[in-house]
Amino acid sequence: MRETGKIRVFLLDDHEVVRRGVHELLSLEDDIEVVGEAGTAAEALARLPAAHPDVAVLDVRLPDGSGVEVCREIRALDERVRCLMLTSYADDEALFDAIVAGASGYVLKAIRGDALLTAVRDVAAGRSLLDPVATARVLERLRGGGPHPDERLARLSEQERRILDLIGEGLTNRQIGAELHLAEKTIKNYVSGLLAKLDMQRRSQAAAYVARVQAAGVQAAGGH
């Protein structure tokens, strides 16, 4: 809704028939415009930023990765993009990952057409479609009640956790070095090590991850 007054939607699904069906469904609506589509995570990451969508409808399981990873990457670039995860399977782990990645909604492909249209409109308006009970369960895990993020965070040393927090604040290696009174090369080595421990390849992944974890756990963690 940035220029035309319409909700701009980007579609990502590796099944062409599904993608076409959703495209046609959305295109029939006066207030929705499909501005791009892709069949793989790589295509989506290449095309989506230039399309400037309000909502990205993302298939969770892709041949070259995950829609959750695409959500995380895109949200790290532009938090205005609302992500609606679309999947064939009800999967608690994928739901957990989607919430941590910043998704606004998670719906099954068995959803009725009118319900999908409502979901797109609700997400575009800034509302969350995530089930409150499931979200509460995920937040409990983020606060230490489950293994997924804390298991990875527990691998980090106190210094690595401090550096991870600073990455989440958007600081460069040089700025982190100045903050901690360490050489830039030393910080670079720390960053490489903590990315490996978190099973991540890119700094942007760590930044999006820590920002999300901190936001969700800030009260229980006493503001850490």
Close Cβ partners of 142 (under 8 Å, ≥ 6 residues apart)? 100, 149, 150, 213, 216, 217
Query: pLDDT averaged over consecutive 10-residue blocks of the chain (224 residues)?
Result: 80 94 95 96 95 95 89 89 86 73 86 92 88 63 52 79 84 90 92 87 79 53 39
pLDDT at 1: 54
pLDDT at 223: 40
pLDDT at 15: 92
∠ at Cα 64 (82, 205), nearest 5°? 50
pLDDT at 218: 42
pLDDT at 4: 66
**From residue 199, how far is each of 2, 194, 202, 215 by CA, in Å?**
36, 9, 10, 21
Give the count of beta carbons closer than 10 Å to the beta carbon of residue 102: 21
pLDDT at 138: 62
